[in-house]
Amino acid sequence: MQSIRPKQSLGQNFLRDENIARKIVGSLTLAPDDVLLEIGPGEGALTKYLVHHVRDLIVVDIDERVVAALKEMFPKDEVEILHRDFLDVDFAGILAGRQAKRLRIIGNIPYNITSHILFHILDNRSWIADATLMMQKEVARRLVAAPKTKDYGILAVFSQLFADVEVLFDVSPQCFSPVPKVTSSVVRLRILERPRFAMGDEHFFRTMIRSIFGKRRKTLRNSLGYFVDPVPPLPLQFDLSKRPEELSIEELVQLGNALHALSGTRLSP
């Protein structure tokens, strides 16, 4: 495969370290019947190892240069190559006609759209078994952050509510071309069969979390005012003098359920 010049506009940093590529693939414990979807294969650093472990490998890339190069590198019966944005992928469509009920995902994802990719995976979690992703170390730490820390926020709440999250290992900038200015981490999200805590209304909860963490310097008493108007009287168990990051995920779910259950509660415009 000929070398492809990375495009900054696509956030491309191609993995060039063979040891790291093998380490990532080795961490997956793949079975031949797994349906594996790779995001942003680039120059095929992971693809060339993955193809030997599963019979059903799909790769997705928005860059037509990558797609053309991969088609030369891999026969059609070895790899299904999709030329599209991962955020437009129809997971149900991919699984249609296949025996597997859920996909496994792997990818060295662009730093500039990491959050979008994570939320796309979590939004479509019913079709996904797990996702092993290379991302900026700083973002990886946010996924596993605990309450009362500066990294605890929207990413931590949603990731830990819907998945078991583990940071597997860090990867030096020198393993990529071009060399990024930051260290990367490989993270695995094992999607739970059901949310860790039961929500009365998922959309309501998601909207509440985005609203209150968007005003995380404010107390809950103030930040909730941007979400519901007026803020209804809540049971004494809820201390509205706290800030959002002081509450555990379970406490946040309980707060959302209480707000949703109260009659007359309406979302702020």
Full DSSP string of 88-104: G--HHHHHTT-S-SSEE
Tally of domains in the chain: 2
pLDDT above 80 (res 7):
no
* One domain for residues 86 and 16: yes
Q: Are residues 125 and 28 in the same domain?
A: yes
Instruction: Give the Cα separation of 39 and 124 in Å (integer).
Output: 15
* Residue 196 located in a structural domain: no
For residue 214, the domain's CATH number is 1.10.8.100
Does residue 162 register a pLDDT over 90?
yes
46 within a domain of the structure (yes/no):
yes
> Is 0.75 surpassed by the pTM of this model?
yes
Quick one: average pLDDT of 192-205? 95
pLDDT at 187: 98
Report DSSP state, residue 53.
Answer: T
Q: Render pLDDT for 69-84 as a digit per residue (tens, 0 to 9).
A: 889 888 878 899 999 9
The contacts of residue 167 (CB under 8 Å, 6+ apart) are 140, 141, 143, 144, 185, 186, 187
**DSSP code for 148:** T
Which of 191, 219, 238 terminates a domain? The answer is: 191
Do 98 and 214 have their domain in common? Answer: no
User: What mean pLDDT, rounded, does the chain reach?
Assistant: 91
HSE-up of residue 13 (Cα within 13 Å, Cβ side):
23
pLDDT: is 15 or 168 the higher one?
Answer: 168
Looking at the structure, do residues 164 and 220 belong to the same domain, yes or no? no
Q: Which of 139, 168, 191 is the last residue of a domain?
A: 191
Query: How far is the first Cα of the chain from the last one, in angstroms, to the nearest whole number?
Result: 53
Residue 7's φ and ψ, nearest 5 degrees, are -100, 125
| Alpha helix positions (H), the chain | 18-26, 47-50, 64-73, 91-95, 114-123, 137-143, 154-162, 202-213, 220-223, 249-261
Q: Are 223 and 193 in contact (CB under 8 A)?
A: no
Residues 12 and 112 both lie in one domain: yes
CA-CA distance, 38 to 152, in Å (whole number)? 28
Domain span including residue 69: 8-191
Task: Give the separation between CA 21 and CA 13, rounded to whole angstroms.
Answer: 14
Asked if 99 and 136 touch (Cβ cutoff 8 Å), the reply is no
pLDDT digits (tens, 9 = 90+) for 123-137: 999 999 999 999 999
Three-class SS state of 38: strand
CATH number for the domain including 183? 3.40.50.150
- 50 vs 36: CA distance, rounded Å: 9
